[in-house]
Amino acid sequence: MADKMRKLPKNVSGPWYVDEDCDDCSLCSEIAPGIFFRNEDAGQSFVGRQPEDDDEISQCEEAADSCPSECIGSDG
C-alpha cells in the first residue's frame, strides 16, 4: 500500500501520488499516459498531472490496482 508520508517530490499537488517504493516498471504510464511520467534519472515514475475526469480517474485506479510495487496512492 502506498505511503503518503513517502511521496516522491516530483508528484504534482493533488490526491494522486507515487511513493518511494516505485521501481519504474512503467506500467502506470502505459495504463494512464499523460498522468504518470517517468523520471529516468531517478529510476521512478511520478504523477505529472492529476486526473481531470472520470475516465482518467478510472485509469489511475487501474494503474494503482496493477502496480507491482503498490506505490500508487490517492488521498481523494
Q: Along the 76 residues of the chain, how does pLDDT read in single tens digits?
A: 999 999 999 999 999 999 999 999 999 999 999 999 999 999 999 999 999 999 999 999 999 999 999 999 999 6
Answer yes or no: are the C-beta atoms of 49 and 56 closer than 8 Å: no
Look up residue 6 and give its amino acid: R
Within 8 A by CB and 6+ apart from 68, the residues are 23, 25, 27
Q: Quick one: pLDDT at residue 36?
A: 98
Domain boundaries, the chain: 4-74
How much is the pLDDT for 11? Answer: 98
Q: Assess contact for 5 and 49: CB atoms under 8 A.
A: no
pLDDT for the residue numbered 31: 98
Instruction: Specify the CATH number of the domain 4-74.
Output: 3.30.70.20
